[in-house]
Amino acid sequence: MFRIAHLSDLHFGDENPAALDAATKWLGREAIDLIVISGDLTRYATLPEFQVASAWLAGLSNPWLVTPGNHDTPYVGLVERAIAPFGRFEKFIGPAATQSWRGEGVAVRGVNTARGLQLRLNWSKGAISQRQARETADWFQADDALRIVVAHHPLIEMIGGPMSARVRGGARAAGRLVDARVDLVLSGHVHAPFVWPYPDGDGKTYAVGAGTLSVRERGVSPSFNLIETDADQIRITALGWSGSTYAPTHSWAIDRRESA
């Protein structure tokens, strides 16, 4: 059994203190192999917000991997956002372009779909280049039995979601990850949990979205995902905050793809 806690959109500065504190205690009690955070650690990417986020990460007893979100680029300061949009993230958190983690039979690779500026008015939307998609797909090794990619923005839109990601290059990148036999693509951004298969290939590459642990709710209570895998199946459980405890709100069971 391999267990991942998938968190997203903590938005330090707009965090839900009770929900975040309870999630932190839950992480400390559970046997978790890896904590994945799919972006938007901060609200406006200010130095105090990153300092609090960094201290929170340092207090975790589990290995963790974080990929940036659009809120992790400076909200104020056009020059900094244009020249070094992830400078603060890299100073306080770690590499922005990609972070990776390998365990026995499990490989996890982050890819940055956030941008400081884009040639469109809404810079919060995602983008992934062909080079990023190729390098991500090529990173996996033949003996990586479970392959996981982490991005802030869903590469393919959440059906019926509360907002759009509109990732430039997303559909093409998703097809490349299917060809690379990636099992899960973890994301956030829409602040709602979901699981569905990519439409291409063998149908065994799944998009998995996590909710938020902030007060920036979009019709869904604060939540995070527990992902459990064994030789035959992947189980995803969304744990929602009731105001006093976490309890399952949604669950999915996915048959794993057979070895090549």
Task: Supply the mean pLDDT for the chain.
Answer: 94
The answer to whether residue 163 scores a pLDDT higher than 70 is no
Banded model confidence at residue 18, pLDDT cuts 50, 70, 90: very high
Rounded to an integer, the average pLDDT of 46-56 is 98
Rounded to an integer, the average pLDDT of 23-42 is 97
SS3 at position 12: strand
Hey, how many other C-beta atoms are within 10 angstroms of the C-beta on 145? 16
Q: Which two tokens stand for residue 159?
A: 């059906």
pTM: 0.96
For 29, phi then psi, to 5°, come to -90, -30
At 5, which helix (H) or strand (E)?
Answer: strand 2-7
Q: What is the pLDDT of residue 119?
A: 79
Domains annotated for the chain, with CATH where assigned, are 2-255 (3.60.21.10)
Q: Are 100 and 65 in contact (CB under 8 A)?
A: yes
Q: What is the pLDDT of residue 117?
A: 87
Which residue type, as a one-letter code, is found at position 138?
A: D
**Per residue in 174-226, pLDDT tens?**
999 999 999 999 999 999 999 999 988 999 999 999 999 999 998 899 999 99
Banded model confidence at residue 164, pLDDT cuts 50, 70, 90: low
Rounded to an integer, the average pLDDT of 21-45 is 97
**Per residue in 69-97, pLDDT tens?**
999 999 988 889 889 999 999 999 999 99
Q: What is the pLDDT of residue 234?
A: 98
Q: What is the pLDDT of residue 159?
A: 72
Q: What is the pLDDT of residue 219?
A: 86
Q: How far is CA 94 from CA 35, 57, 88, 98, 217, in A?
A: 15, 11, 9, 9, 27
The answer to whether residue 160 scores a pLDDT higher than 80 is no
